[in-house]
């Protein structure tokens, strides 16, 4: 018989198995989730992520088909491969969910995010901000004598890079939409 001898009061035994065996490395995936645009659907999706301890890097949602009342939620998430599979399975079984696409594995896709940057400054700094914006193809959507608001669309990395460049040039505020993504081709 293989019985272990458990000493009374042994502290190495716990009610739960405390070891975590998920040693795999984390990946980032972009998921497109098609849902009924009904009350509470976003809370449901977000509740799933927080309740099960999944990460949300970015999340966007808007109705995409008024006729059929469907919204598209784009979620950028990170996790080990098995966690990503779980996330997809958990999303798929929700009642208001039609379809879950993992854009990261389903072939090439494009990802875009829109951001607004408020930059304060005078003189050289102001000129430098404007020059940098031109290089990034950001548009000026508002200006006063001492401020600009730039609009930039691009990958999240491009937006990160622009924010970094603007930091020393008087960056005051950033507003980002989060990622919208779609598969390439047809």
Partner 1 sequence: MSRQMTGADIVVQALKDQGVDTVFGYPGGAVLPIYDAIFQQNDIRHILVRHEQGATHAAEGYARSTGKPGVVIVTSGPGATNAVTGLTDALMDSIPMIVLSGQVPSFMIGSDAFQEADTVGITRPCTKHNWLVKDTEMLAETIHEAFHVATNGRPGPVLVDIPKDVQFASGNYISPAKADLGHYQPRVKGDKDAITALVELIEKAKKPVFYTGGGVINSGKGASQLLRELVKATNFPITSTLMGLGAYPASGDNWLGMLGMHGTYEANLAMHDCDLMICVGARFDDRITGRIDAFSPKSKKAHIDIDPSSINKVIHVDVPIIGDVGHVLEDLLKIWKSRGRKTKTADVKKWHAQIDQWRAVDCLAFKNSDKIIKPQYALQRLEALTKGMDRYITTEVGQHQMWAAQYLGFEEPNRWMTSGGLGTMGYGLPASVGTQIAHPDSLVINIAGEASWLMNMQEMGTAIQYRAPVKQFILNNERLGMVRQWQELLHGERYSHSWSEALPDFVKLAEAFGGKGIRCTDPADLDDAIMEMLNYDGPVIFDCRVEKHENCFPMIPSGKAHNEMLMGEEDTQGVIDSGGAVLV
Query: What does the binding site for partner 1 look like in residue numbers (CB under 8 A)?
Result: 1-11, 13-19, 21, 36, 39-40, 43-44, 47, 51, 82, 85-86, 89-90, 92-96, 98
In the complex, the smallest distance separating the C-beta of residue 72 from partner 1, rounded to whole angstroms, is 16
| Main-chain dihedrals φ then ψ at residue 184, nearest 5 degrees | -80, 165
**172-to-67, 117, 120, 146 alpha-carbon distances in Å:** 41, 8, 6, 12
Contacts of 116 (CB under 8 A, 6+ apart): 141, 149, 150, 151, 152, 174, 175
* Nearer to partner 1 (CB atom), residue 21 or residue 144: 21
In the complex, the smallest distance separating the C-beta of residue 93 from partner 1, rounded to whole angstroms, is 5
* Nearer to partner 1 (CB atom), residue 40 or residue 185: 40
* Class of residue 120 by CB neighbours under 10 A (exposed 0-12, middle 13-18, buried 19+): middle
* Nearer to partner 1 (CB atom), residue 66 or residue 186: 66
* Nearer to partner 1 (CB atom), residue 2 or residue 144: 2
């Amino acid at each position: 018989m293989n019985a272990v001898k458990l000493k009374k009061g042994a502290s190495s035994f716990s009610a739960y198995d405390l070891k975590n065996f998920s040693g795999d490395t984390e990946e980032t995936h972009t998921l497109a989730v098609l849902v009924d645009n009904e009350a509470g659907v976003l809370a449901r999706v977000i509740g799933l992520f927080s309740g099960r301890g999944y990460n949300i890097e970015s999340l966007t949602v808007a109705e995409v088909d008024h006729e059929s009342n469907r919204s598209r939620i784009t979620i950028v998430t990170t996790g080990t491969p098995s966690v990503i599979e779980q996330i997809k399975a958990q999303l798929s079984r929700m009642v208001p969910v039609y379809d879950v696409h993992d854009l990261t594995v389903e072939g090439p896709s494009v990802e875009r995010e829109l951001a607004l940057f408020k930059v304060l400054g005078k003189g050289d700094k102001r000129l430098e901000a404007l020059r940098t914006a031109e290089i990034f193809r950001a548009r000026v959507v508002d200006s006063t004598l001492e401020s600009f608001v730039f609009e930039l669309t691009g990958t999240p990395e491009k937006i990160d890079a622009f924010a970094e460049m603007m930091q020393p040039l008087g960056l005051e505020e950033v507003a980002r939409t989060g990622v919208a993504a779609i598969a390439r081709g047809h």
